[in-house]
């Protein structure tokens, strides 16, 4: 009988889920608005069932309540089969977790110690794990880490110019979005092995955004660092910031650490720059000059980091766009790739707007691809391997 794996991506107010029977996704959806206006969206590719309804306050009060509400729907789709394993996306694995693991009490305790490194994600990842262990007591629980893909990158990309004692206690550049980068690399290896072996930059652009330099499937450079704040500007996160600005906020503005954290994580980025929204679609459609300036800055930073990643690689063979913005915004892709002749990079406008995977022009020395990411599939693969082991 085919194994049944449920993949969960638990956020502060949402749970995204995909139910697999074997390698085939059977049910996909999310519960959003937890604790406020909870709502369930579910689509079955097998029974063609579609559910779109608000949840009661009790049903959507916590992650546990939400999963308990979801169980009857999943059981109907499973037709008598049970969930063998639940795979969780976990943002931060720290120094110790360099591979996916089965979750036990000791692992859960260690993951809790990493909460200060990813305050926007880790507590909610753990809440999802705790809820799933209660709701699916007989299922194997696994954790797959966004940081693991980067754990073998060179020391010079791993460290900060601080006293070495900080590095030894874990203050280092971890990098994130590793599950997305792993999927893109696996896709290239399977479909374009010649490109997989070359010098690749992957731009994961979405509400969270980062870029990664990859050589032969191995991360050798990343824009994100100790936390998921560094590098590119994001939906609500600031990206690269002079640490002196934080000192200024604390000493001259009298802000508390919690206030600084809230500003940098939740009220900066595209949202802070525009004063409007973090939604790229809304910004692109707006005639407000602040919206245009926010996009200008976003594109500028991507172009700047593209040059840096190409330098790390010693050249560039392939640029891949992925993530919500990377996959869907022809405008951002066009502006990132404009006037990049020095890099040997150009795109075909018609292809850029057509939904094609390859959008580079025939004259371009650099392959430019648009590849939808699938972090859930990577979690499924790792969970399946842990089940087999």
Distance CA 237, CA 234 (A): 5
Average pLDDT over residues 8-31: 91
Residues of the chain with CATH 3.30.420.40: 4-145, 191-370
Please give the pLDDT value at position 156.
94
pLDDT at 325: 96
Residue 1 clears pLDDT 80, i.e. is over it: no
Q: Which of 204, 170, 244 is nearest to 324 (CA)?
A: 204
Is there a catalytic annotation at residue 258? no
Q: Are 150 and 92 in contact (CB under 8 A)?
A: no
The gap between the terminal CA atoms of the chain, to the nearest Å, is 17
pLDDT number for residue 198: 97
Residue 63 clears pLDDT 90, i.e. is over it: no
Strands 140-145 and 24-32: unpaired
Question: In the CATH hierarchy, which top-level class contains the domain 191-370?
Answer: alpha beta
Tens digit of each residue's pLDDT (9 = 90 or more) over 283-311: 999 999 999 999 999 999 999 999 999 99
> Does pLDDT of 28 surpass 90?
yes
Cα angle: 203, vertex 126, 152; to 5 degrees: 45
Helix (H, G, I), strand (E, B) or coil at 119: coil
The sign of the CA dihedral 66, 71, 76, 77 is positive
pLDDT tens, 180-195?
Answer: 999 999 999 999 999 9
Q: Residue 13: its pLDDT value, please?
A: 77
What is the rounded average pLDDT of the residues 186-214?
97
Q: Which of 34-48, 127-141, 159-173, 273-287 has the lowest mean pLDDT?
A: 34-48
**Separation of alpha carbons 48 and 77, rounded Å:** 10
**Rounded Cα–Cα distance for residues 168 and 311 (Å):** 28
Residue range 4-145, CATH number: 3.30.420.40
pLDDT at 49: 82
Identify the band that residue 118 occupies on the pLDDT scale cut at 50, 70 and 90.
confident
- Average pLDDT on 193-202 reads 97
User: How much is the pTM?
Assistant: 0.94
Instruction: Compute the distance between CA of residue 321 and CA of residue 220 in angstroms, rounded to an integer.
Output: 18
DSSP one-letter code for 317: S
Which of 135, 140, 19 is CA-nearest to residue 66? 135
**To the nearest whole percent, how much of the chain has pLDDT over 90?**
84
SS3 7: strand
Q: What is the DSSP string of 146-214?
A: SSGGGTTS-HHHH--SS-HHHHHTT-S-----HHHHHHHHHHHHHH-HHHHTSEEEEEE-SSS-EEEEE
- Beta-carbon-side half-sphere exposure of residue 176 (alpha carbons within 13 Å): 22
| Chain mean pLDDT for the chain | 94
DSSP code of 134? H
In this predicted structure, the answer to whether residue 120 has a pLDDT above a threshold of 90 is no
Element (H, E) at 350: helix 349-352
Q: Give me the DSSP letters along 16-36.
A: EEEEEETTEEEEEEEEE-TTS
Question: Catalytic one among 84, 146, 230, 317?
Answer: 146
Which of 98, 208, 209, 229 is CA-nearest to residue 153? 98
- Closest to 15 (Cα-Cα) out of 57, 70, 82: 70
| Arithmetic mean of pLDDT, 205-232 | 95
Per residue in 95-114, pLDDT tens?
Answer: 999 999 999 999 999 999 99
List the structure tokens of 157: 């990309």
* Cα separation, 352 vs 221, whole angstroms: 27
């Amino acid at each position: 009988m085919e194994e049944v794996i449920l993949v969960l991506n638990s956020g502060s107010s949402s749970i995204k889920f995909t139910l697999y029977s074997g390698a085939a996704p059977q049910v996909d959806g999310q519960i959003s608005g937890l604790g406020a206006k909870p709502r369930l969206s579910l689509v079955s590719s097998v029974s063609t069932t579609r559910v779109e309804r608000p949840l009661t306050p009790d049903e959507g009060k916590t992650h546990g309540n939400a999963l308990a509400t979801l169980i009857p729907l999943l059981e109907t789709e499973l037709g008598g089969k049970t969930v063998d394993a639940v795979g969780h996306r976990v943002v931060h694995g720290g120094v110790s977790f360099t591979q996916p693991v089965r979750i036990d009490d000791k692992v859960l305790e260690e993951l809790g110690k990493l909460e200060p490194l990813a305050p926007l994600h880790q507590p909610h990842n753990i809440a999802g794990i705790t809820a799933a262990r209660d709701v699916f007591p007989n299922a194997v629980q696994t954790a797959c880490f966004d940081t693991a893909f980067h754990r073998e990158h060179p020391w010079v990309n791993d460290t900060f110019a601080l006293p070495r004692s900080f590095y030894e206690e874990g203050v280092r550049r971890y990098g994130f979005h590793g599950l997305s980068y792993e999927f893109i690399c696996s896709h290239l290896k399977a479909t374009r092995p010649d490109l997989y072996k070359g010098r690749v930059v992957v731009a994961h652009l979405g509400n969270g955004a980062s870029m990664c330099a990859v050589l032969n499937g191995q991360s050798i450079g990343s824009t994100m660092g100790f936390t998921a704040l560094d590098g590119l500007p994001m939906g609500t996160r600031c990206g690269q910031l002079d640490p002196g600005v934080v000192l200024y906020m604390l000493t001259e503005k009298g802000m508390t650490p919690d206030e600084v954290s809230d500003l940098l994580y939740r009220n900066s980025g595209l949202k802070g720059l525009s004063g409007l929204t973090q939604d790229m679609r809304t910004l692109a459609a707006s005639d407000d000059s602040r919206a245009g300036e926010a996009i200008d800055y976003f594109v500028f930073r991507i172009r700047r980091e593209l040059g840096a990643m190409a330098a790390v690689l010693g050249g560039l063979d392939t640029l891949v766009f992925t993530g919500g913005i990377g996959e869907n915004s022809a405008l951002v892709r066009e502006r990132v790739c404009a006037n990049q002749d020095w890099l040997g990079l150009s795109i075909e406008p018609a292809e850029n707007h057509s939904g094609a995977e390859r959008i580079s022009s025939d004259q371009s020395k650099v392959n430019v691809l648009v590849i939808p990411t699938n972090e859930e599939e990577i979690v499924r693969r790792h969970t399946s391997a842990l089940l087999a082991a």
